[in-house]
Amino acid sequence: MKSFLRSSVLILAVLLINGFKTDLPKTDLPKMDLHVHLNYASQSLGITADSAYQKASKLSKKMGVTFGIAEEFGSDNVRRNDSLLANRIALAKKYSLYLGLQVSRRDWNSIFSPENLNKIDFILADALIFPNRKGEMIYIWVPGMPLGEPQEFMDIYVAHNLKVLSEPITIWANPTFLPDALIARYDELWTDARMKSLIDAAVKNHVAIEINSRFKVPNARFIKMAKAAGAHFTFGTNQHGDGIGEIAWSINIAKDCGLTKEDFFIPKRKL
């Protein structure tokens, strides 16, 4: 009885120490969330940024998931962007995190110095902001945007994705995301031909495809088609503060589609 009690206490202690680690499915795929946004004033320097990175680092260790922070600096002021980026490069090193830049301006290459861009671990972009047929800028995750006729919307959306995929980016985020108004028609609107054109572009330009746990995209048909074409993948949450690192959906669909660790993009820098 005594030894039973002792082993129960031991098991309980191990569970408490490991905590959230048990939440993720067992896998030998790289447990990484390379689309982490932190909840803090993104323009801040000093103690605010330092403590946000420190907190993220602690959570990453606790969950057993490697984090890649996706920062978003997009002002016109190159010196300001550069000083923020240099600061985050130092913090990422200090706290064993990967550092990425999420770019949403199409002239992003000109608002940072090449030296700084060369020091970050990845550049991530999605294709969710573009002009509709009438030339009105649409943010397609925002409900009620003037999307236009669905097939026409898809053609413009695919063309915009091709433009983004031709840029020197590392990761294509939120791939095949559809607005709420069209989500029920995902299988019909994402024809094989539309999927194939984007997969071919990603493979040709060596852009890894994110498997996104928050929006649950892309679907299995897309992932299998992309694997067959020789694409590489990443896991990402695109969560802000709460929910970062929670990549269970991504792991499960990757396993279902037969992905192996060789199919994944891993940043080069040793953490």
Task: Give me the residues that bind Zn ion (CB under 5 A), please.
Answer: 102, 238
Residue nearest to Zn ion (CB): 238
Whichever of 31 and 214 has its CB closer to Zn ion, that residue is: 214
User: Residue 124 CB, nearest distance to Zn ion (Å)?
Assistant: 7
User: Residue 118 CB, nearest distance to Zn ion (Å)?
Assistant: 22
What is the C-alpha R_g of the chain?
20
Q: How far is CA 194 from CA 31, 175, 179, 211, 251, in A?
A: 30, 12, 17, 18, 25
Size of the chain in residues: 271
Whichever of 66 and 238 has its CB closer to Zn ion, that residue is: 238
CA torsion, points 69, 75, 77, 82, in degrees to nearest 10? 10
Could you give the CA distance from residue 16 to residue 165 in angstroms, rounded to a whole number? 44
User: Residue 45 CB, nearest distance to Zn ion (Å)?
Assistant: 21
DSSP letters, 136-178, are -EEETTSTT----SHHHHHHHHHHHHHHHHTSS-SEE-STT--
User: Residue 13 CB, nearest distance to Zn ion (Å)?
Assistant: 37
Whichever of 81 and 238 has its CB closer to Zn ion, that residue is: 238
The label of the residue with tokens 């940024």 reads 49
Q: Classify residue 176 as left (phi > 0), alpha (psi -120 to 50) or beta.
A: left
Could you give the CA distance from residue 247 to residue 258 in angstroms, rounded to a whole number? 17
Query: Are 266 and 30 a contacting pair, CB within 8 Å?
Result: yes
User: Residue 102 CB, nearest distance to Zn ion (Å)?
Assistant: 5
Whichever of 34 and 225 has its CB closer to Zn ion, that residue is: 34
Whichever of 56 and 225 has its CB closer to Zn ion, that residue is: 56
Whichever of 67 and 227 has its CB closer to Zn ion, that residue is: 67
User: Residue 67 CB, nearest distance to Zn ion (Å)?
Assistant: 13
